[in-house]
Amino acid sequence: MICGTAAALRRVLQAGALALLLGTLIGNAHAQGDAKRGQYLAKVGGCVGCHTQEKDDAVPYAGGRALKTPFGTFYGPNITPHLQAGIGRWTEADFIRAMRHGERPDGANYFPAFPYPSFTRIADSDLRDLWAFLRTLPPSSQASQAHDLRFPFGWRFLVSIWKWLFFTPGPFTSDTQRTPEINRGAYVVQALGHCSECHTPRNFLGGPKRDRFLAGGKGPDGKRVPNLTPAKLKKLSDAELKDFLVSGTTPDGDVPAEAMGEVIRNTTSQLTPADLAAVMAFLRALPPLADEPR
Ligand code: HEC
Ligand code: HEC
């Protein structure tokens, strides 16, 4: 009798252990990011632009792109999985920490020229997919270049103050007052698309003026960037806005400034029709704001 109970108990325990083991295996397989989705998300994030040299035979994501700002020139680093030159030794957790908190694996701060103030809004599952995609890139041994910044902006610890003032980490939360389409557009624009890094004016410390969200002003390169709120954007019909975002044609036949030309090439022209429609719906639903004074 006792023997029978013990055997039954053992069977139950074995079954339980097996279920647990399978659960962990399946759970892990499930938690692993989807590299194909990650490839699309990398386009939405425009990662290739800042992480690839501007020359025809440049290796994508191997770094070296110069980003001129009023604080000096930043160079996008090599983010291929090369063990020494790239981020091949990183774990997924290191990547999520960099994107969500703007911190290096050793705890030092990243400069916000890496648009983590926007990327922090990316959902966990999208971060895992991005990571899975980055792992599929061919490793490049091209060394990352040191930034060339004006005194004292090269001091990483000063970024702590900047972050304390202007950085709120945490994923995007949708607003139940808005339609799912507008929420999707808000997510694409604010998180991955990082449109606000150029289209929201900044104060003298380089902090975004939150009450002037997407109202235009000066971009990171010091050049003028237009107001995207309906106060200004209503001049463009839906068809014109779509044309601009897909093919870079303006109603008067002009070529857009290169900063936006790159965003159109790498990001907005690559969006799925649903994501493009969502971005447009979100821009149309923004509170109208007057232009930033010159
Ligand atoms: C506007 C330019 C820009 C864009 C767009 C951009 N990055 Fe970066 N990224 C940078 C810069 C600049 C740094 C270096 C920051 C520093 O040294 O403090 C960086 C650093 C990184 C790092 C840390 C690398 C290391 O060696 O420590 C990772 C990872 C990264 N970016 C991933 C991405 C991904 C993924 C995307 C797209 C979703 C992306 N970046 C888009 C500019 C950019
Ligand atoms: C690197 C800086 C930068 C980023 C990032 C950026 N833009 Fe732009 N954008 C510009 C500049 C500069 C122009 C002006 C182009 C011109 O008129 O020649 C512009 C123009 C535009 C226009 C045309 C506005 C008008 O009134 O003609 C739209 C729409 C637009 N951007 C949407 C976006 C969206 C959506 C995103 C995010 C996916 C984005 N931009 C990200 C710099 C940027």
Tell me the per-residue pLDDT of 223-281, one tens digit each, with 9 for 90 and over.
889 999 998 888 899 999 999 999 998 888 888 999 999 999 999 999 999 999 999 99
Give the percent of the chain with pLDDT over 70: 89
Query: Which pLDDT band holds residue 115 (cuts at 50, 70, 90)?
Result: very high
Amino acid symbol at 225: V
Confidence category of residue 21, pLDDT binned at 50, 70, 90: low
- State the pLDDT at residue 132: 98
**28-50 confidence digits (pLDDT tens):** 544 689 999 999 999 999 999 99
Nearest ligand 1 atom to alpha carbon 74:
12
Tokens 């890139």 belong to 137
pLDDT at residue 221 in the model: 79
Q: How confident is the model at residue 209 (pLDDT cuts 50, 70, 90)?
A: very high
The residue nearest atom 28 of ligand 1, judged by CA position, is 79
- Is the model's pLDDT at 11 over the cut of 70? no
Residue 104, by phi and psi: left (phi above 0), alpha (psi -120 to 50) or beta? beta
Going by CA atoms, what residue is nearest to atom 17 of ligand 2?
256
C-alpha 182/C-alpha 166 separation (Å) is 25
Q: How far is CA 20 from CA 13, 16, 17, 210, 236, in A?
A: 10, 6, 5, 47, 57
Mutate to test the pocket of ligand 2, among 122, 199, 223, 224 (most ligand atoms within 8 A of CB): 199
Distance 250 CA to ligand 1 centre (A): 30
Residue to probe by mutation, ligand 2, list 263, 267, 284, 292, most atoms within 8 Å of CB: 263
Measured CA to CA in angstroms, residue 36 lies from 72, 128, 251 at distances of: 35, 11, 35
Mean pLDDT throughout 91-119? 98
CA dist., res. 102 & res. 110, Å (int):
5
Identify which of 37, 39, 40 has the alpha carbon closest to the alpha carbon of residue 271. Answer: 40
pTM: 0.91
Residue 162 confidence (pLDDT) above 80: yes
Contacts of residue 141, Cβ cutoff 8 Å, sequence gap at least 6: 82, 84, 85
Distance CA 44, CA 268 (A): 7
Cα separations in angstroms, 241 against 130, 268, 282, 286: 28, 11, 13, 15
The sign of the dihedral angle between the CA atoms of 274, 280, 286, 292 is: positive
